[in-house]
């Protein structure tokens, strides 16, 4: 609908801040929004129709939530053939936007394989492994991976395998709603209560390691199929 800003009022009110989550391998995920409603439509418009304007609300939320100790941004690239097909690499667009707002450098430290099997609608046994190749660029301590959608965290974990200096933060545009406290079905992941405002990574880690804050979560056989994206 016509409006003065990037989103009309009903769409803006439909946005819900994403939680901070543990996605394994020492990684903590911070998302701008929960992957539902308006946020989901924004990601789909960016990812599958190359609507660059759809990145703006996502980038605004990501820039507000990134810890102040972050030193650089490392985008998690899309499979080469998919980037060519859809005409966009969403993580690169989001990383560039966050960099513009925060002044942080973007480091293209990993590059993708040509292709891996689409995960949407497939069981875990039917999915092909995601892997990346290091470019040789130096990644400083406290750098953050950047991706468009965070669900199981498998893509982010695969990205860390390719890096010698392993990040401990994943900054995402959206996070699966089922990763909320006591709801996430993704492979025994652990989540914490959402925090408000800017939060440094040490605070997030302290919350994750506090025994009273853990929630043991089960696995869902449908996996990633609900969301329709190939990234995890």
Q: What is the pLDDT of residue 209?
A: 45
Q: Which residues of the chain have pLDDT under 50?
A: 119-127, 180-232
Q: CATH number, domain at 48? A: 3.40.50
144 within some domain: yes
162 within some domain: yes
Domain extent for 203:
26-213
> Which tokens in the block code for residue 182?
């006591």
> pLDDT per residue over 85-120, tens digit each?
888 999 999 999 999 999 999 999 998 875 555 544
35 within some domain: yes
Exposed/middle/buried for 21, CB within 10 Å: 0-12, 13-18, 19+? buried
The total number of structural domains in the chain stands at 1
Helix %, strand %, coil % of the chain (to 5)? 35, 15, 50
Rg (Cα) of the chain, in Å, rounded? 16
pTM of the full structure: 0.73
Q: What is the pLDDT of residue 177?
A: 66
95 within some domain: yes
Would you call 166 helix, strand, or coil by DSSP?
coil
Instruction: Determine the Cα–Cα distance for residues 205 and 149; give it in Å rounded to an integer.
Output: 21
Q: What is the pLDDT of residue 192?
A: 42
């Amino acid at each position: 609908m016509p409006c003065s800003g990037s989103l009309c009022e009903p769409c803006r009110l439909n946005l819900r801040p994403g939680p901070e989550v543990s996605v394994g391998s020492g990684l903590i995920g911070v998302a701008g929004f929960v992957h539902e409603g308006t946020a989901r439509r924004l990601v789909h418009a960016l990812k599958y129709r190359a609507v660059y304007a759809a990145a703006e609300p996502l980038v605004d939320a990501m820039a507000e939530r990134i810890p102040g100790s972050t030193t650089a941004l490392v985008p998690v690239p899309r499979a080469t053939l998919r980037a060519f097909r859809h005409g966009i690499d969403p993580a690169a667009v989001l990383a560039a936007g966050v960099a513009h707002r925060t002044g942080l450098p973007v480091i293209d430290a990993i590059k993708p394989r040509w292709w891996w099997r689409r995960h949407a609608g497939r069981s875990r046994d039917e999915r092909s492994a995601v892997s990346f190749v290091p470019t040789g660029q130096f990644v400083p301590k406290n750098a953050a991976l950047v991706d468009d959608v965070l669900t199981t965290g498998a893509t982010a974990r695969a990205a860390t395998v390719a890096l010698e200096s392993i990040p401990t933060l994943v900054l995402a545009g959206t996070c699966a709603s089922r990763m909320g406290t006591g709801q996430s079905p993704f492979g025994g992941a652990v989540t914490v209560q959402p925090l408000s405002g800017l939060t440094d990574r040490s605070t997030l880690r302290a919350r994750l390691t506090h025994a009273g804050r853990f929630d043991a979560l089960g696995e869902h056989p449908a996996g990633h199929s609900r969301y329709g994206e190939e990234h995890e």
